[in-house]
Each structure stands twice: as structure tokens, then as C-alpha cells.
Amino acid sequence: MLQAPCTPLSELSGAVARLASEEVNGVDGHELGDELVCMRRLMDRLEAEFVRRLERFDRGRGALSEGAVSTVSWLRATCGLTGGGAADRVRMARMLVGLPRTTASFHAGRSSFANVALIARLADEVGADTVAGVEETLVPAAEALDPGRMRILTAFTRHRLDADGALEADNRDHERRWFSCDQVFGGAFVLRGELDAENGAVLKTALDALSSPSGADDQRRGSQRRADALVELASRQLRDGRLPAAHGQRPHLTVTADAATLRRFRGAPPANVLGVGPVHAETARRLACDSVLTLATVAGNGAPLSVGRASRTIPAAIRTALGVRDEGCRFPGCDRPLAWTDGHHIRHWADGGETRMDNLVSLCRTHHRAVHEQGWEISLAPDQQVVLIEPTRVGLRPPSGSRRPRPADVGAT
């Protein structure tokens, strides 16, 4: 029987098969750690071999003879690479030819694929000849730094070697900026976009300042905290009235609701957020808790008969006193400062609750929502201490920004 010739690739394939058949459950952590580091090095070296062969394939227009329009598109179609991953490898194939020290470090497994890709990108931007002149400093850095720091180093090098080119690239990034905030079917909004480095940093700095956990019990994921921070940023601008007026009015959210809706009468129509659509009565009650209110009387056909003067549901003097007493969100376990809070009517004004200190409590937006939409009950004891009752309705989840009740407590009625 003929035996297939033993090639390096068939040997490698055999070695991978043997690795796959190894039992790993019993292996201790240190040993696994060493194995993972070793495998990563081997993968980087294998990438170096991939790139070396790709250089020959690309130079010989192998992709064209295979019927693809470019080496990148051939890689995407046949090797399962993303556009970015394919472009990185083609760029490396073309640039590393002129960068002997980088190539040697890559092949020896001393520089990672990610760091070599950054050097190749730099070479593509300023020319391989120019980068060859600074390999002496770049290669030791590539062997020591993680890709995040290496990216910063190559960016600095770029500015040093070719400041005008870097400015041009910044301008291109700036021109490419876009952002969309679209409401989809079902009512939710989907946000997408791209910002240049400077403006992205402006946004990220502001979001970071507002997205720290609200306390040790904050259960929100990082992505949820960033989303809340973005809304917080906008809410503050709206509330503080710093945004430019349009049609003679400061921009604000307009909610219209029947008195019956605010009182949660069965069969009452949903409330409406202007330009957005219907919202649940409980959401309208939350928004109305601490807002500017205009009462209108309407005829049976919906035409307004009279419109009253706008007034704050919590007058400025009471709000000040509330701030002095509460100092921040009063939901147990929350440390959000006063600037993050709404005044919550413990007994809603729509139900006849009075706007008095003993009927008001400051809640951050996460916990104001927890009380209205998620069924938590909050009240004040005669000594002004907060009394909290967990939701009893099945299916209600604990507020994401606070301590979570024990599983046995959830939904137990």
C-alpha cells in the first residue's frame, strides 16, 4: 500500500490531532497556562509562515489565476478571514519584505502577530524604507509590549516620521464620522456610528465619568452602564436647559396623558411621548413625578378647551429642601449623587399625593424606574428612613443598578 508522503503540514496536522485527543480536565492551572502561552507563540510563528507564503502567492498573482479579483477577496472567500484580517495579512506580506528585523522576530515567535501587523501598517503609511530606519527601536518594543501600548507607540512614531501624513489621515477619519439614532419597529432605538480619535475620546471621557458602578451591589453590565451614561448625559442637558431653543422653547420630552391614564384606570388609553409613540401608564407616571406640568381640558372630540399655565410638579423651594435632606439617591445600596436624581412622589400626585417632604424621596433614574416600572415599593418611616418592599408580581426583575434579592424571594407571593 502506498503511503502519503510525510510533509511538514501533514505532520502539523497529526500533531494538532494528538493535541485534540488529549484530556485537559485533570491538568492543573499552571501547566495549562504554560501550554496556552506556548500554543499562542506557535500560532504566531505559523502566521509568520502563512504570511511568507502569502507574499509569494500575492507576488505571483495567485489570486487572479484562481479567479478572484484580489488577494484580499481570495483570502476572505477561501480562508474564512474578515476583510480586515485579510487586508492585515496582505499588507504584512507586502511590507515585511523590506523589514528584515521585524520579519526575524516574527518568525522566531518573539513578536506577536498583532504587533507585527501594527508595524506593517506603519510601513504602509510612511513607507517600508522609513520604518526600516527605526526597526532598531520598534522591534524590541514589539517583543515587550501588549498590542494596546504598541498601537500607541506606532501612532507616535507615525507622527514623528510623517506629521503631515498623520494630519491627512486624521482629516480623513474626521470626514468619515457618522452617527445614527433610529427608532426601529417595536419602539427601541438603535445607535450606530464612527468618530475620529479625538472626538471619540471626548465622548468616551464623558461616558466614563458617568458610567462607574452605583455601588458594590450594582449588577449592570459595563455595556448597560455606558448606555445609561449616554442617556444621563442627554437628560442633564435637557433638564438644565442648556440646549439651544427651537420654536421658542427649550428642547424637552413631551408626554401627553389622560388623567385616567395617570390614575391607572382600567381601559384608559396609553400615554404618548411626542414623536416616539405610546408608553405604559407607569412610565408616564414616572416622567410626570418630577416634571413641568400643563393641565388642559379637552372636549369629547379631543380639541383643547382650555390650557393652564405650566408649573413644576416639585417647586424649586421643595426641591432644594429635598436635596439637603437626601443628598443623593435614597434607594438602599445606591450612592448616586443628587445631580443624578429625580424627586419621586411616594403617593403619586395623580392619585392625590401631596408635594410635601414626607411624600417625596430622591431616586436616581435607574431606581426611579425600578420603583415605577419594576414594582419596587419605597416609602418613608416617620423617622424619614427609607422602607423598601420587593416586587411581589411574578416576572418582575430586580433593578439592574442595585442589590439583587435572593432567588427565593423573586416572584414569591
- By CB under 5 A, name the binding residues for Zn ion: 286, 289, 329, 331, 334, 336, 344, 364, 367
User: Grid cell 419605597 — which residue?
Assistant: 378
CB of 341 to Zn ion, least distance (A): 7
Q: Which is nearer to Zn ion, 322 or 334 (CB)?
A: 334
User: Grid cell 521585524 — which residue?
Assistant: 102
CB of 400 to Zn ion, least distance (A): 11
Structural contact between residues 238 and 249, judged by C-beta atoms closer than 8 angstroms: no
CB of 360 to Zn ion, least distance (A): 9
Q: Which is nearer to Zn ion, 48 or 287 (CB)?
A: 287
User: Which residues are paired to 297 by β-bridges?
Assistant: 306
* DSSP string over 66-122: TT-SSHHHHHHHHH---HHHHHHHHHHHHHGGG-HHHHHHHHTTSS-HHHHHHHHHH
CB of 402 to Zn ion, least distance (A): 7
Q: Which is nearer to Zn ion, 89 or 344 (CB)?
A: 344
Q: Which is nearer to Zn ion, 158 or 286 (CB)?
A: 286
Say how far apart CA 355 and CA 344 lie, in whole Å. 10
Q: Which is nearer to Zn ion, 153 or 378 (CB)?
A: 378
CB of 348 to Zn ion, least distance (A): 7
Q: Quick one: cell of 92?
A: 504584512
CB of 331 to Zn ion, least distance (A): 4
Residue 388 DSSP one-character state: E
Q: Which is nearer to Zn ion, 4 or 216 (CB)?
A: 216
Say how far apart CA 273 and CA 254 lie, in whole Å. 6
Residue 406 DSSP one-character state: P
Exposure string for 253-270, b = 16+ CB within 10 A, e = fewer: eebebbeebbeeeeeeee
State the Rg of the chain over Cα. Answer: 31
Under DSSP, is residue 180 helix (H, G, I), strand (E, B) or coil? strand
Q: Which is nearer to Zn ion, 187 or 213 (CB)?
A: 213
Cα 331 to chain centroid distance, Å, stands at 25
Q: Which is it for strands 386-389 and 377-380: parallel, antiparallel or unpaired?
A: antiparallel
Structural contact between residues 238 and 254, judged by C-beta atoms closer than 8 angstroms: no
CB of 364 to Zn ion, least distance (A): 3
